[in-house]
């Protein structure tokens, strides 16, 4: 949470002060650093009482280095806790992981992996204590207090920081910070106090530190470190003289044992002059040679202030080729071109142009491009306002561009924020605080970390972007808007920190080069780059198992929810109060135009589903301006890069140069994935993943100018062309019906009018987004650029630039080409023709037929390239018209060259997998039939799995029709490949039954609009019937994959119903074992009376999420939990905000449904990254869109071999077997709550045992945990005692037969291929008037026809929704050690066959 140490704006820091470094925070930021204090007792002992052993001369080696900045260097360059290296953690890591791979092992080969040593993070569970806000305005949560303390230290509010420390000290030992971590905060406070004493020598800051040390540290038995004593010595030297100085120096040094002398003097706090004074006073160390302290350095002269960044060069930028402006929905104001013009560095580039600058120059430009975005937005607004002023326009009364008004908003909001900051100071000083004062005390220090100008600009841009994303006229929920504003503010603060630290690092490096007396140790301690900035705990090894790492519960990275809610609401309220727009309307009588200033935003409440929700609604005038002028602000941080991205080296170091980015995309509150990813990086597990992302990022791109020119001309025409929506869509509005007594008539009309408005709004939004993309393409048309990549939690790679990247729609892909070209050669010309056929849509034929297709249409190709808009427009008939046009340009240019094989091509040529998810499933399950359908086996023609599934569906329907099934008769002959394609494609990735039904319904309605009226059957029912047949066909074709999905789902179900040993021990510590015995309900069986209640009580302890390791050794953590919510009062209204926490129970349904598709995604991500690494090794240019791989036409054959080899390498290993071993190791010791039949022998015996014991499930859980501990003991007596214990699990183990297995998870049907969710089948939807069960769809046609004649309400009332079944007794729940089912038997398919399959990717 600590952001910076350098003085906040207007704090008056003194550049001459060069004697301090910043200490570390507690483990919320660096538990690893805390290890340096605690684990090495001879260096950093924690002391609560003085060691009085006699002193004697002790010479310490000068090579000792504690990894810190020395005191005798600049305050402005003070180290942060993020700067501390964590290399010492490597000493705890298993040699298996720390040793590099064999020297000749290529990077693209899979590393050896032992599932038994898979990375495990043991989170110290337990909710943090939370109390009321104190009367002095200190919040009651530890996370909130730590964040507030950090902010107060940051902005030099030491009095407030002291109050936070005092309250933290009041917590009980079992709920607060341990003393060993609390002392780090005290050190931080002491350090800030010494800084103040140096900056303000006339103050009594130094004297107050002595009292603080005695009262807050020694009297409260807080263990102090040598660093603490070093600060006290520094305070003594600043505040005392004569005998007082001698007495205090002697006293403080006597508090330490002899072996701790050196850490005090070498802590980087005392300089050589201080050492001289101390040695003259304290004789035991007076004999140390002064010359040995050269590494401490002398007090240097004040460091000169350095400008933010030097100019790259002085001459103005030369003009590049002028392209036509982007018309239609161009940004009515200055637009992107002006945004680029006002960025400071664009005026300082000489005539060479960007493309001809050196790498270092372009890197400097890229860094400034990233950091100037907020200032550029403010300048943009200011310039447009000044332009209007020159025209004599008053922006408050004019209707001109939104940007000119935004500067008025900026000025007004900036003034309000400054007033609020003044009120914060008054509130902090007021003794008796009101509720408003208490609120200001919480968010005030965080506001001070930025400036009023930046806070105002960030708030304005965030609100407008949220309005644009949600639909300008729809409004935005208040809670979401507040969270977005707070998150953007926090990110901007972090960005400012990064920028300052980079500038400080440059200053320090420059000074060290001039200072010849700086030792190697000092150099290591001060060489800090932006990559050293870290947040959060680093995991630490637990016990002897180096792969099991522990993380403290005091692990906070972002601002707490309370702070975000208070700060975000305050900024949003200020914007609502200050933002105005001019509304011009026609007077109803005089017909004159009347202008009025109205609020731009309004806060209101709406009622939805029985709840009152706060909403921020924009003024209609603002909506109209936003539609004409789409927002382009904040764009600079999301543009492509001008240089190769920074290689990924740490979790938050890579990609952009200065803009904060993370290796793994993590949503707010999903801390587990962050912790696992950091630990994996620290252990070296993510080397291949990081290098793979680097390969994707260093691919150089350019704008395909011929395609851009055509696209720009079509865009400026305003007409619809390909996927470009029209500027003025002609969508007729239904006529208003005449007055009618039937209210439904008008309601239907209103619904149709709303549909038309929504369609127009959607087209406009789409056009606005395309406007962004075209503006960016125009700005970069003469440049080479790059797309930095990161990955999601499954390992799938995504480009960081949001608007323009190769994962965009067809027109964006058509606009992009490789910056580097390759000669085609014979094979390249062949593949270029196939690319043309593929993007046209002729991709189901053989490769030879595709080449012939291109050759046969050469006349159309030439016409399309020569006259794309005025000719025959053949390219517009393609499935991907813009990519087809790009292929036409490239093919014509090659064929018109003197030697087509020598033509240098830059066009990316694609190789796409055949339903890649099913390819992985077929390989995992060994399904020969399924493998043939997805081209894993050699063949003369490409197989089409969608057509194969369609044929199976047709066969089933024909059989049902012969059996007189009325639904089969309605749809017979109407099933095509297109009807089932989307369902087959998405089923492997977890599509629900409802989603599949909507997909099939959409295709049926498009192909047969009158199907419902002709058949007399609701289209939803027909769609449900087709979906069941489609799922049945899939499960038949991919039998092995079907079994694997069931196995994955069953494993997930058991994990989600299990409790870890740590949580069980926590239950025991909370006193669950001594809870009062429940009395059975009257007239009920005692063995069941307690079970239901206890299960509900224990539901909050099911926190075990699904974790697995990919073939690239990336740990994947599923983030699905039932997040708790917190009601927080703000200045606008009370907000109910989600507060995600790793102690929240898992969302079992989401975990089960998401695990199989996420597992497959992790495999295809590994395949892609392995392929990228090998292609890079071979010198190939490589890009990818998940399962679509791109390279030059000349290199397709080489890339195809790489793709096949990488797939074979992954699936030649026992992927499922390794996963099973990992699960057994990861969840060893977990206890699972499972169900057994009450009538079974085990059930009868357990019921008898429970009647005699009369205890609940909690007590049974603790008993079973105790039994497992005894059985695993090394003491034979304890083992015998454990074997003699009787628990439900021991009864189950004794009575269950060898063949008897635990019952299958009741939700398992939802995760398998063709699985149908009972919950989904039973849910009612608007417009449906029947309830049909799964079995009814194809069997009991009379029942279905009967249900069709009644409403859903009548069917429910009459209990007609399904066949009545005999009521069975509820199962019995017992605790057993978790086990996993046997792995399904694999089929006969040999994955190496795909090496000869030319259509595996084609």
Catalytic residues: 912, 981, 1187
Which value, to the nearest 10 degrees, does the dihedral of the CA atoms of residues 26, 32, 35, 40 take? Answer: -140
CB 262 within 8 A of CB 58: yes
Query: Between the CA of residue 265 and those of 72, 259, 260, 294, what are the distances in Å?
Result: 12, 12, 9, 13
CA distance linking residue 1382 with residue 865, whole number of Å: 59
Q: Please name which of 1149, 1075, 1051, 1063 lies closest in space to residue 1102, comparing C-alpha atoms.
A: 1063
Residue 447: both structure tokens together: 């506001």
Residues in the chain: 1402
CA distance linking residue 72 with residue 69, whole number of Å: 9
Query: Between the CA of residue 928 and those of 389, 610, 920, 1039, 1387, what are the distances in Å?
Result: 75, 54, 13, 10, 7
CB 80 within 8 A of CB 22: yes
Tell me whether strands 580-586 and 1183-1185 are parallel, antiparallel or unpaired.
Answer: unpaired
Q: Please name which of 370, 1181, 1189 lies closest in space to residue 698, comparing C-alpha atoms.
A: 1181
CA distance linking residue 1023 with residue 1027, whole number of Å: 6
CA distance linking residue 240 with residue 252, whole number of Å: 13
Contacts 24+ apart (CB under 8 A), 1243-1247: 1243/1372, 1245/1291, 1245/1295, 1246/1087, 1246/1288, 1246/1291, 1246/1292, 1246/1372, 1246/1374, 1247/1085, 1247/1087, 1247/1372
CB 1165 within 8 A of CB 689: no
Burial class (CB in 10 A: 0-12, 13-18, 19+), 314: exposed
CA distance linking residue 1162 with residue 1219, whole number of Å: 13
CA distance linking residue 1211 with residue 1206, whole number of Å: 9
786, β-bridge pairs: 641, 700
Residue 476: both structure tokens together: 């935005």
CA distance linking residue 383 with residue 395, whole number of Å: 12
Label residues 567-603 b or e (16+ Cβ within 10 Å = b): bbbbbbbbbbebbbbbbeeeeeeeeeeeeeeebbbeb
Q: Please name which of 806, 790, 788 lies closest in space to residue 697, comparing C-alpha atoms.
A: 788
1081, β-bridge pairs: none
Q: Please name which of 587, 616, 589, 613 lies closest in space to residue 601, comparing C-alpha atoms.
A: 616
Q: Tokens 């310490």 identify what position? A: 60
Beta carbons within 10 angstroms of residue 1186's beta carbon: 16
CB 412 within 8 A of CB 579: yes
CA distance linking residue 1157 with residue 1165, whole number of Å: 12
CA distance linking residue 783 with residue 776, whole number of Å: 11
Q: DSSP letter at 1305?
A: P
CA distance linking residue 302 with residue 518, whole number of Å: 16
CA distance linking residue 270 with residue 200, whole number of Å: 19
Q: What are phi and psi of 267, to 5 degrees?
A: -75, -5
Q: Please name which of 73, 66, 117 lies closest in space to residue 87, comparing C-alpha atoms.
A: 66
């Amino acid at each position: 949470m600590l952001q910076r140490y350098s003085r906040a704006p207007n704090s008056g820091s003194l550049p001459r002060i060069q004697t301090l470094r910043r200490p570390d925070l507690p483990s919320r930021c660096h538990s690893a650093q805390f290890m340096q204090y605690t684990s090495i007792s001879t260096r950093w002992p924690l002391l609560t009482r003085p060691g009085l052993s006699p002193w004697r001369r002790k010479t310490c080696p000068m090579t000792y280095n504690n990894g810190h900045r020395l005191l005798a260097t600049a305050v402005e360059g003070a180290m942060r806790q993020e700067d501390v290296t964590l290399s010492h953690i490597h000493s705890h890591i298993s040699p298996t992981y720390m040793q590099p791979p064999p020297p000749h092992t290529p990077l693209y080969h899979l590393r050896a992996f032992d599932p038994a040593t898979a990375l495990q993070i043991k989170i110290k569970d337990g909710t943090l204590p939370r109390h009321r806000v104190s009367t002095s305005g200190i919040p009651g949560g530890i996370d909130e207090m730590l964040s507030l303390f950090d902010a107060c230290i940051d902005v030099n509010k030491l009095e407030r920081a002291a109050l936070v420390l005092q309250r933290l000290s009041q917590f009980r030992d079992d709920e607060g910070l341990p003393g060993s971590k609390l002392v780090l905060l005290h050190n931080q406070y002491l350090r800030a106090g010494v800084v103040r004493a140096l900056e303000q020598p006339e103050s009594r800051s130094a004297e107050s530190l002595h009292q603080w040390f005695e009262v807050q540290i020694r009297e409260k038995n807080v263990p102090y470190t040598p660093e603490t004593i070093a600060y006290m010595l520094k305070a003594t030297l600043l505040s005392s003289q004569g005998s007082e100085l001698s007495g205090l120096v002697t006293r403080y040094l006597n508090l330490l044992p002899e072996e701790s002398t050196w850490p005090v003097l070498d802590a980087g706090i005392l300089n050589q002059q201080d050492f001289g004074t101390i040695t003259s006073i304290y004789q035991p160390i007076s004999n140390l040679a002064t010359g040995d302290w050269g590494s401490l350095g002398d007090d240097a002269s004040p460091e000169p202030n350095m400008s933010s960044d030097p100019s790259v060069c002085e001459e103005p930028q030369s003009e590049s080729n002028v392209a036509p402006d982007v018309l239609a929905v161009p940004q009515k104001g200055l637009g992107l071109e002006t945004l680029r013009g006002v960025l400071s560095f664009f005026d300082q580039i000489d005539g060479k142009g960007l493309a001809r600058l050196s790498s270092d120059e372009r890197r400097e430009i890229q860094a400034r491009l990233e950091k100037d975005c907020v200032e550029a937005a403010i300048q943009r607004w200011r310039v447009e306002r000044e332009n209007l002023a020159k025209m004599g326009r008053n922006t408050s009364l004019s209707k001109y561009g939104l940007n000119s008004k935004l500067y008025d908003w900026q000025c007004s909001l900036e003034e309000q924020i400054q007033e609020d900051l003044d009120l914060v100071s008054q509130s902090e000083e007021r003794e008796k605080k009101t509720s408003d004062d208490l609120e200001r005390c919480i968010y005030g220090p965080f506001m001070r970390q930025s400036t009023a100008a930046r806070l105002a600009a960030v708030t304005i841009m965030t609100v407008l972007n949220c309005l644009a994303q949600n639909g300008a006229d729809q409004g935005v929920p208040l809670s979401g808007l507040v969270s977005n504003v707070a998150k953007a503010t926090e990110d901007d603060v972090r960005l400012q920190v990064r920028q300052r630290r980079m500038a400080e690092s440059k200053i320090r490096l420059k000074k060290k080069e001039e200072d010849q007396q700086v030792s190697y140790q000092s150099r290591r301690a001060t060489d800090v780059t932006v990559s050293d900035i870290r947040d959060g705990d680093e995991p630490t090894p637990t016990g002897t198992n180096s792969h099991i790492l522990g993380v403290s519960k005091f692990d906070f990275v972002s601002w707490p929810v309370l702070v975000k809610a208070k700060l975000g609401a305050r900024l949003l309220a200020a914007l609502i109060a200050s933002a105005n727009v001019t509304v011009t309307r026609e007077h109803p009588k005089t017909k004159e135009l009347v202008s009025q200033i109205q609020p731009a935003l309004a806060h209101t409440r709406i009622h939805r589903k029985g709840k009152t929700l706060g909403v921020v609604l924009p003024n209609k005038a603002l909506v109209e301006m936003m539609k004409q002028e789409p927002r382009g602000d904040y764009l600079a941080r999301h543009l492509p890069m001008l240089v190769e991205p920074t290689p990924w080296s740490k979790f938050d170091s890579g990609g952009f140069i200065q803009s904060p980015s993370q290796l793994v995309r993590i949503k707010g509150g999903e801390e587990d994935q962050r912790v696992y990813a950091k630990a994996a990086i620290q252990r070296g597990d993510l080397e291949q993943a990081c290098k793979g992302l680097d390969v994707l990022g260093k691919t150089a791109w350019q704008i395909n100018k011929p395609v851009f020119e055509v696209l720009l001309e079509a865009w400026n025409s305003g007409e619809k062309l390909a996927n470009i929506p029209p500027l003025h869509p002609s969508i007729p509005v239904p006529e208003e019906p005449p007055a009618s007594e039937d209210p439904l008539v008008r309601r239907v009309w209103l619904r149709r009018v709303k549909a038309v408005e929504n369609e127009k709004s959607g087209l406009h939004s789409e056009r606005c987004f395309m406007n962004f993309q075209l503006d960016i393409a125009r700005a970069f048309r003469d440049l080479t650029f790059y797309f930095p990549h990161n990955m999601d939690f499954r390992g799938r790679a995504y480009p960081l630039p949001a608007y323009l990247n190769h994962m965009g729609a067809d027109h964006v892909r058509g606009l992009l080409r490789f910056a580097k070209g390759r000669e085609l050669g014979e094979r390249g010309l062949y593949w270029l023709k196939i690319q043309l056929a593929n993007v046209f849509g002729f991709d189901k034929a053989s490769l030879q037929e595709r080449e012939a297709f291109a050759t046969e249409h050469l006349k159309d190709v030439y016409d399309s390239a020569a006259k794309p808009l005025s000719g025959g427009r053949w390219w517009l008939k393609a499935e991907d018209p813009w990519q087809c046009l790009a292929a036409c340009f490239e093919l014509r240019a090659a064929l018109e060259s003197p030697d087509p094989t020598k033509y240098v091509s830059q066009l990316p040529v694609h190789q796409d997998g055949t339903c890649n998810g099913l390819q992985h499933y077929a390989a995992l399950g060994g399904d020969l039939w399924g493998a043939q359908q997805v081209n894993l086996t050699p063949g003369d023609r490409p197989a089409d799995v969608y057509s194969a599934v369609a044929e199976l569906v047709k066969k089933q329907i024909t059989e049902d029709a012969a059996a007189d099934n009325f639904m089969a008769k309605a749809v017979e002959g109407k099933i095509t490949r297109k009807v089932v394609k989307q369902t087959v494609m998405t089923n492997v990735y977890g599509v629900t039954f409802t989603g599949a039904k909507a997909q099939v319904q959409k295709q049926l309605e498009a192909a047969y609009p009158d199907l419902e009226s002709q058949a007399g059957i609701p289209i939803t029912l027909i769609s449900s019937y087709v979906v069941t047949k489609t799922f049945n066909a899939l499960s038949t074709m991919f039998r092995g994959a079907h079994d694997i999905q069931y196995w994955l789902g069953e494993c997930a179900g058991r994990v989600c119903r299990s409790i870890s040993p740590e949580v069980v021990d926590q239950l025991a510590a909370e006193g669950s074992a001594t809870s009062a015995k429940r009395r059975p309900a009257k007239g009920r069986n005692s063995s069941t009376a307690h079970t239901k209640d206890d299960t509900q009580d224990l539901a909050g302890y099911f926190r075990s999420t699904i974790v697995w390791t990919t073939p690239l050794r990336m740990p994947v953590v599923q983030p699905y939990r039932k997040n708790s919510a917190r009601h927080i009062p703000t200045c606008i209204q009370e907000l109910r905000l989600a507060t995600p926490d790793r102690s929240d129970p898992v969302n079992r349904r989401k975990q089960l449904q998401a695990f199989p598709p996420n597992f497959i995604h992790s495999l295809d991500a590994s395949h892609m990254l392995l392929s990228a690494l090998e292609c890079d090794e071979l010198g190939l240019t490589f890009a990818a869109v998940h399962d679509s791989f791109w390279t030059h036409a000349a290199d397709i054959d080489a890339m195809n071999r790489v793709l096949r080899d990488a797939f074979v390498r992954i699936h030649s290993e026992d992927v499922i077997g390794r996963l099973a071993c990992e699960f057994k190791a990861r969840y060893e010791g977990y206890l699972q709550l499972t169900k057994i039949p009450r009538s079974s022998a085990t059930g009868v015996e357990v019921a008898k045992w429970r009647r005699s014991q009369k205890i609940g499930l909690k007590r049974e859980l603790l008993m079973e945990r105790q039994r497992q501990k005894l059985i695993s003991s090394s003491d034979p007596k304890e083992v015998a005692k454990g074997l003699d214990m009787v628990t439900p699990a021991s009864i189950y183990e004794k009575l269950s037969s060898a063949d008897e297995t635990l019952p299958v998870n009741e939700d398992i049907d939802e995760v398998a291929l063709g699985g149908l969710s009972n919950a989904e089948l039973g849910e009612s939807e608007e417009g449906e008037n029947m309830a049909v069960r799964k079995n009814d769809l194809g069997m009991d046609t009379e029942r279905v026809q009967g249900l069709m004649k009644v409403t859903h309400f009548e069917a429910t009332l009459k209990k007609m929704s399904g066949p009545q079944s005999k009521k069975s007794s509820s199962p019995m729940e017992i605790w057993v050690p978790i086990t996993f089912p046997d792995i399904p038997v694999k089929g006969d398919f040999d994955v190496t066959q795909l090496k000869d399959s030319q259509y595996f990717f084609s």
